[in-house]
Chain A
Amino acid sequence: MLRRAVPIVLSLAVCGLMPITANADLPVEEAVLTDAPNVPPAIHRSRPAKVIVHLEVREVVKNIADGVQYTFWTFGGSVPGKFIRVREGDTVEFHLANHPENKLPHNIDLHAVTGPGGGAASSFTAPGHESQFTFQAINAGLYVYHCATAPVGMHVANGMYGLIYVQPKDGLPEVDREYYVMQGDFYTQGAYGEKGLQPFSMQKAIDERPTYVVFNGAVGSLVGDKAIKGNVGESVRLFVGNGGPNLVSSFHVIGEIFDNVYTEGGTDANQHNVQTTLVPAGGSAIVEYKLEVPGTYILVDHSILRTFNKGSLGMMKVEGPDNKAIYSGKEVDSSYLSELGDLEKKAAKDSEAPKAVAAKAPVTKDELMTAGKKVYASSCLMCHQANGEGLPAVFPPLAKSDYLAKLSGANDRSALVSIPAKGLSGKISVNKADYNAVMPAVSGLSDSDLAAVLTYVTNSWGNSARPFSVDEVKKAKDALAQAKK
């Protein structure tokens, strides 16, 4: 009986498509689409237009982290999908193409659409086909769009989301810079950092245990050379989205306070002076702030273990003159020994190695290793990780590091002593990967601590080098001081 369903089948082929006529008087324009972190320019029209959007679904293999590949399903070739910008009242003619090399059907549900399914049913498209539908953007605001094909969780988990901004009729205040940042959680069968092409893990997704939580589709997508940029004195607007599929983001920029927040992507800047704003899965927020002080500002999901262990870390690099009245930088570094009175504290500071007063300084390699491990745990581990492997694209590895091996094998190792003692910034290459970040000087370490931690780092996780002595550290520091003069 089912076998003879031919007439129904055929009728679908013919009468499913009904073109919707838009107002013929409207000027027609093609939407400018951008990849994150870029945002299309503001719209200066004062009247509505018919805006044509062409978006292509492509299933692509890309890096989700250094050496880790994932098959992303994308709106336009990248995660997140292209940023779409239209004006309140515009008529949007939407074309969704599904690339013929794709394996699956896809569609799009734009939260900016008023109508059942947000366009999902009208845009349901087989591989090698294209669908068209039209909607009027009657509500202004920042909206998520996503694929809504079954199993929807998997389509979203594979990266099928992006933002469409329906600019209010009167626009928003002009700013110097606008950026597009979108968070998403990913579920791979291998653990975080496990190399190679990683398949999707349905079970981890259902259990809501992501392997990666990232901004803009990959660990390190907004780090180093790819950081977003600004200058002191400029105003910044971030269009922040969260594709999910599962997690809610506690979006925070370390060192900035949001002057204005358009909560949940609505049209009122209804909050001011906000530290952290919630961005729901399938939701958004617009934040604005002024750049006052130069330096690197870190974008995080302040559910902070995701940032340290799963990748949700981005950077904004701000250049310009210091403003000591707003932020001084470090003014004083003194030892703080709470159990001692002020006089004792002063005496301790005057001595060469304050921590060595209490305990016998380590001398043998075993002693140095033991002491060094403690220093590492308190001062280095947070970034370089317990296994010395760092975090891909953010914190360089120490384990089996060619960069470290070169410095630790040299006759004059003052360059190596300099790293914890004086800090290190700028571009370096470690095991064929580039890092461009700032490591501050590790404060509060005595010469003995430095010798211990350097010995530990250069003799752990497969590394091997001569132990450091307090003497070598002292000489190196003197040499560095001389060189500076």
Chain B
Amino acid sequence: MRGFNRIVLSCFLAVHCNIGGSHQAAADVLTAHTKQRASTVRIPGGRFSPLYGMAKGITEVEVRPFELEVVPVSNGEFYKFVRAHKMWQRGRVPVLLSDVAYLSHWHNVGKAGEWAPAASERSYPVVFVSWFAAHAFCEARGGRLPTVNEWEFAGAASETKANASRDPEFVEKLLAWYSTPQGKSAFHDVGKGQANYWGLRNMHGLVWEWNEDFNSVFVTGDNREDSDDLKNLFCGGSATGAADKSDYAAFMRYALRNSLRANYSLKNVGFRCAYDVH
């Protein structure tokens, strides 16, 4: 299995080089796009206890200061991106980098192979994007996807508290959203609604969000199928490694992340970008 993975790995790097090539070809537009950095807030970081992912005997992890975009990336912003980076247009992305659902909510806009979001949905969060596409988008912006720990640190905030993960009212509110099927009319414009303690909007209640290391928590070897850790998320086993057994909301986010593969494009998964602070 290990050898097979190496082959896949080199295969990926080759694809990655091609992406680089496209960047060069669209250098002007790319620069324009990169400069359009969305508004961000600075998260000061600190120590906290994520639900999973800590080594044995460690109860807290350090999150270093970083910047996070205030709202999830919208259809409109992603449309600009794919116009500048043709390889990320619907219909051109290889299955290895996204499954067939990629941008499947966009409409054909007349020209062969050109797809765009409906005008009424331009400010909705972009969904049906794979991890690879989200990763490439943030890279083009000069940023990256937030790590799980960064996202969890920032997302633990309610409107009034930096860490509300033990506030029953906050947790119940999240559960109510997590429990509601996506349906057709569940989306609204990004930015609508109350900001949380850090000034971030729509961290909950609109879409799930990709993280840079979304399934690394369970990866110990070169393949998660050979790891015992995965079973932690099933049945009673999930309670054994968890920091706070009553944080059902966090369980659900970790479960969702762990069900994903990097080429999945889902109806309710979007993303926002993060930036290093130097």
A contact residues vs B (CB 8 Å cutoff):
2-3, 5-16, 58-61, 71, 100-105, 107, 109, 116-117, 120-121, 124-129, 148-152, 154, 158, 189, 199-203, 206
Alpha-carbon distance A463/B261, docked complex (angstroms):
62
Contact present for B96 and A109 (CB under 8 Å): no
CB distance from A66 to the nearest CB of B (A): 22
Instruction: Enumerate chain B residues within 8 angstroms of A14, measured Cβ to Cβ.
Output: 8, 96
Q: Give Cα A100 to B186, complex, Å.
A: 14
From B215, B235, B252, B260, A120 is in contact (CB under 8 Å) with B235
Report the Cα distance A107→B225, complex, angstroms.
15
Does the CB pair A150–B1 fall under 8 Å? no
Q: A105: which B residues are within 8 A, CB to CB?
A: 255-256, 258-260
* CA gap between A5 and B148 in the complex, in Å: 12
B120 on the interface (CB 8 Å rule)? no
A103 and B101 within 8 A (CB):
no
Provide the main secondary structure of the chain A interface: mixed
Identity of the chain A residue whose Cβ is nearest the Cβ of B235 in the assembled complex: A148
The residues of A that contact B182 with a CB separation of less than 8 Å are: 100-103, 127
Selected contact of A3 from candidates B144, B175, B264, B266, CB within 8 Å: B144
The listed residue (A102, A104, A120, A154) touching B234 by CB distance below 8 A is: A120
Q: A7-B12, A16-B261, A126-B264 are in contact. Are A200 and B234 (CB under 8 A)?
A: no
Most buried by B among A71, A128, A200: A128
Q: Is the CB of B12 within 8 A of A103?
A: no
In the complex, whether B172 has a CB less than 8 A from a CB of chain A is yes
A3 touches B251 (CB 8 A): no
Contact with A along B66-103 (1 / 0, CB 8 A): 00000000000000000000000000000010000100
The residue from B8, B101, B144 contacting A11, defined by CB atoms under 8 A apart: B8
Q: How far is the CB of B239 from chain A (nearest CB, A)?
A: 8
> How far apart are the CA atoms of A439 and B179 in the complex, in Å?
40
- CB-CB nearest 4 A-B residue pairs: A105-B259, A150-B238, A59-B181, A2-B213
Task: Enumerate 29 A-B pairs (CB-CB under 8 Å) in ascending A order.
Answer: A2-B147, A2-B213, A3-B147, A3-B213, A6-B135, A10-B8, A11-B4, A11-B222, A13-B262, A14-B8, A15-B5, A59-B180, A61-B181, A100-B266, A102-B182, A103-B180, A103-B181, A120-B234, A121-B231, A124-B233, A127-B182, A127-B267, A128-B264, A129-B264, A150-B251, A152-B234, A152-B235, A202-B171, A202-B246
User: Is B45 engaged at the interface, CB distance under 8 Å to the other chain?
Assistant: no
- Tell me if B266 and A15 are in contact (CB < 8 A): no
Cβ–Cβ contact A149 & B255, under 8 A: yes
Are A199 and B172 closer than 8 Å at their CB atoms?
A: yes
A12 to B216 alpha-carbon distance, docked (Å)? 11
Kindly state the separation between the CA atoms of A105 and B264 in the bound complex, as whole angstroms. Answer: 13
Q: Are B212 and A5 in contact (CB under 8 A)?
A: yes
Binary contact readout B192-210 vs A (1 if CB under 8 angstroms, 0 otherwise)? 0000000000000000000
- Cβ–Cβ contact B261 & A8, under 8 A: no
Q: Which of A2, A13, A148, A201 contacts B261 (CB 8 A)?
A: A13
How many positions in chain B have a CB within 8 Å of any CB in the partner chain?
62
B204 to chain A, nearest CB (A): 12
Enumerate chain A residues within 8 angstroms of B268, measured Cβ to Cβ.
Answer: 103, 127
Q: Which residues of B contact A201 (CB under 8 A)?
A: 172
Of residues A58, A125, A127, A199, which shows the largest number of chain B Cβ atoms within 10 Å of its Cβ?
A: A127
Q: Is the CB of A150 within 8 A of B262?
A: no
Of A13, A102, A127, A154, the residue contacting B263 (CB under 8 A) is A13
| Contact of A104 with B255 in the complex, beta carbons under 8 Å | yes
A-facing mask of B233-258, CB < 8 A → 1, else 0? 11110100000001010011011101
For residue B225, which residues in chain A have a CB less than 8 angstroms away from its CB?
16, 121
Q: Which residues of B contact A13 (CB under 8 A)?
A: 96, 261-263
Are B147 and A16 neighbours in the complex by a CB distance under 8 Å?
Answer: no
* B153 on interface, CB distance cutoff 8 Å: no
Closest to A3 in B: B212
Contact surface of B with A, Cβ cutoff 8 Å:
1, 4-5, 8-9, 12, 96, 101, 131, 135, 144-145, 147-149, 168, 171-172, 175-176, 178-184, 212-216, 219, 222-225, 230-236, 238, 246, 248, 251-252, 254-256, 258-264, 266-268
Residues of A contacting B264 in the complex (Cβ-Cβ under 8 angstroms): 126, 128-129
Q: Is the CB–CB distance between B263 and A117 below 8 Å?
A: no
Contact A7 B262 (CB under 8 A): no
- Residue among A11, A101, A117, A121 with the highest chain B CB neighbour number at 10 A: A11
Having A100-B101, A126-B256, A129-B264, one finds 18 other A-B pairs with CB under 8 Å, namely A2-B149, A5-B212, A5-B219, A9-B131, A9-B262, A13-B96, A14-B8, A59-B180, A101-B182, A101-B183, A101-B267, A103-B179, A121-B225, A126-B264, A148-B234, A150-B252, A199-B175, A203-B168
B5 & A7 in contact (Cβ 8 Å cutoff)? yes
**A71-B180, A125-B259, A200-B179 given as contacts; is B234 within 8 A of A11 (CB)?**
no
Q: Are A151 and B252 within 8 A (Cβ)?
A: yes
Residue from B179, B264, B267 having most chain A Cβ neighbours under 10 A: B179
Q: A13-B262, A15-B1, A15-B8 are in contact. Are A149 and B233 (CB under 8 A)?
A: yes
Q: In the bound complex, what is the Cα–Cα distance between A19 and B79 (angstroms)? A: 38
* Contact with B181, one of A5, A102, A125 (Cβ below 8 angstroms): A102
Known contacts A3-B144, A199-B175, A150 near B12 by CB under 8 Å: no
Contact A126–B231 (Cβ < 8 Å): no
User: Are A117 and B267 in contact, CB atoms less than 8 angstroms apart?
Assistant: no
Residue in A103, A107, A158, A200 whose Cβ sees the most chain B Cβ within 10 Å: A103
With contacts A8-B216, A10-B9 taken as known, whether A126 is within 8 angstroms of B260 at the C-beta atoms is yes
> Does the CB pair A151–B212 fall under 8 Å?
no
A151 pairs with B248, CB closer than 8 A = yes
C-alpha gap A53/B263 in the complex (Å): 27
Contacts of A71 in B (CB 8 A): 179-181
* Distance between Cα atoms of A121 and B5 in the complex (Å): 21
Residue of A nearest to B171 (CB): A202
Complex Cα–Cα for A107 and B255 (A): 11
Q: Chain B nearest CB: distance from A453 CB in Å?
A: 44
Q: Please, which residue of chain A has its CB at the minimum distance from the CB of B260?
A: A126
Q: How far is the CA of A11 from the CA of B219 in the complex (A)?
A: 11
Residues on B with beta carbons closer than 8 Å to the beta carbon of A126: 256, 259-261, 264, 266
Give the distance to chain A from B222, nearest Cβ to Cβ, in Å: 7
Given contacts A103-B179, A105-B256, contact A8 B222 (CB under 8 A): yes
User: Which of B215, B254, B262 has the most A CB atoms < 10 Å from its CB?
Assistant: B262
Instruction: Provide the bound-state CA to CA distance between A11 and B12, in Å.
Output: 9
Using A126-B264, A128-B267, A148-B234 as known contacts, say yes or no to A104 and B252 having CB atoms under 8 A apart.
Answer: yes
